[in-house]
Amino acid sequence: MLQRSSDPTAVWDIHEFLSKKQHELGRKYDYRYSVLVGVFARLLYEGWITESDLAGLSPEKLQLIQRAATRAYS
């Protein structure tokens, strides 16, 4: 990005871009137990995981994840 720009303030544009990406990835891969249902729902919706990857979770948790994936991200 810097190579394509002759503007010295472009570094701040890159900083903003990287900060946004860091925040996005931090939300997507938050492994705190209290938010795992939401994390799994987002990953399921985006196609990063499949329902078979969630094998072993209780049926109640699977239902919550499936419901959240279809409701929140569609």
pLDDT value for 21: 92
pLDDT for 7-28, tens place per residue?
Answer: 878 888 889 999 999 988 887 7
pLDDT for 19-70, tens place per residue?
Answer: 999 988 887 777 788 888 988 999 999 999 999 999 999 999 999 999 999 9
At position 51, the amino acid (one-letter code) is E
d(CA 26, CA 55): 24
Taking residue 38's Cβ as centre, other Cβ atoms within 10 Å add up to: 17
At position 3, the amino acid (one-letter code) is Q
Please classify residue 72 by burial: count the beta carbons closer than 10 Å to its beta carbon, then call 0-12 exposed, 13-18 middle and 19+ buried. Answer: exposed
- Give me the half-sphere count of Cα atoms (radius 13 Å) on the Cβ side of residue 45: 18
Parse the chain into domains and list their residue ranges. Answer: 1-29, 31-74
Please determine, for residue 72, whether its predicted confidence score (pLDDT) is greater than 70.
Answer: no
